[in-house]
């Protein structure tokens, strides 16, 4: 693909940045504050969260429903789940994120040559705080919140929406992401080549390019 790239798309979570405090660290605070023994963690929360997004206005409302269900399944009432969710919302600062090593410089360098876009799963209220907190909101020419502006990744629609906003075709773009479940298959379904941030998973040759870290983007592999 060398010489034909005219735009670069990025995932956000686990690609550009990560929280300074993990969800499990915050849940420890939540259960202690509410005064009940911990009965679920990040893994259970993440695995069930999507069930509650369709009718929710944003992540806070979806989390409230998810935590209520998890609490009830553990023998508590829904109000206990609501109290845990309220504490989580107070504790979670979405702007309290750090760049992954090499990400800030990669965005700066690539932005000098290409228009940049974001395709991220996550509601606008949450994800915009991360970009603002990192000071890179203006670095991107198009931001698509998959699951809100379009179906969630791995559906191809959010990638098509980003391409339309940048005025490029799929064959002219590369998507940088860390997920073999959403970033890689979604981008490929949209006709976009993929640069996968290696997390040690068995990638089975699916990504077009493999990044040891975001530093690798300073000299793009495509």
Distance separating alpha carbons of residues 105 and 5, to the nearest angstrom: 19
Percent with pLDDT over 90 in the chain: 89
Residue 205 backbone zone (phi > 0: left; psi -120 to 50: alpha; other: beta): left
Give the domain ranges of the chain.
7-19+96-218, 23-91
- Residues 6 or more apart whose CB falls under 8 angstroms from that of 173 comprise 5, 6, 7, 8, 9, 163, 166, 192, 193
68-126 pLDDT per residue, tens: 999 999 999 999 999 999 999 999 999 999 999 999 999 999 999 999 999 999 889 99
pLDDT in single tens digits along all 222 residues of the chain:
445 899 999 999 999 999 999 999 999 999 999 999 999 999 999 999 989 988 888 889 999 999 999 999 999 999 999 999 999 999 999 999 999 999 999 999 999 999 999 999 988 999 999 999 999 999 999 999 998 899 999 999 999 999 999 999 999 999 999 999 999 999 999 999 999 999 888 888 789 999 999 999 999 999
Q: Is 187 within 8 Å of 8 (Cβ atoms)?
A: no
Distance separating alpha carbons of residues 5 and 11, to the nearest angstrom: 17
Residue 185 CA to chain centroid, in angstroms? 15
Q: Could you give the angle at the alpha carbon of 132 between the alpha carbons of 127 and 136, nearest 5°?
A: 105
pLDDT value of position 1 = 44
3-state secondary structure of 126: helix
E runs forming strands in the chain? 7-10, 17-19, 97-99, 116-121, 142-146, 173-177, 193-197, 209-211
Domain 7-19+96-218 has CATH 3.40.50.1000: yes
Quote the longest CA-to-CA distance of the chain.
59
Chain position carrying tokens 């997920």: 179
Q: Is the dihedral of CA 52, 54, 57, 59 positive or negative?
A: positive
Distance separating alpha carbons of residues 56 and 190, to the nearest angstrom: 27
- Residues 6 or more apart whose CB falls under 8 angstroms from that of 191 comprise 169, 170, 171
Chain position carrying tokens 């798309």: 9
Structure token pair of residue 88: 């989580």
């Amino acid at each position: 693909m060398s010489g034909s790239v005219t735009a670069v798309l990025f995932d956000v979570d686990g690609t550009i940045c990560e929280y300074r405090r993990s969800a499990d660290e915050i849940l420890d605070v939540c259960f202690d504050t509410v005064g009940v023994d911990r009965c679920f963690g990040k893994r259970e929360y993440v695995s069930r969260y999507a069930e509650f997004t369709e009718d929710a206005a944003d992540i806070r409302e979806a989390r409230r429903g998810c935590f209520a269900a998890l609490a009830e399944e553990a023998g508590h009432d829904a109000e206990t789940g609501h109290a845990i969710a309220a504490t989580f919302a107070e504790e979670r600062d979405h702007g309290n994120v750090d760049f992954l090593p090499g990400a800030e410089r990669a965005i700066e360098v690539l932005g000098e040559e290409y228009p940049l876009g974001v395709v991220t799963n996550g509601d606008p209220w949450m994800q915009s705080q991360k970009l603002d907190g990192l000071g890179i909101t203006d670095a991107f020419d198009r931001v698509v919140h998959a699951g809100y502006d379009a179906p969630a990744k791995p559906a191809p629609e959010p990638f098509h929406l980003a391409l339309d906003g940048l005025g490029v075709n799929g064959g002219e773009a590369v998507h940088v992401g860390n997920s073999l479940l959403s970033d890689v298959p979604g981008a490929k379904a949209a006709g976009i080549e993929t640069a996968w941030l290696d997390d040690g998973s068995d990638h089975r040759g699916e990504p077009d390019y493999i990044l040891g870290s975001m530093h690798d983007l300073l000299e793009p592999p495509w």
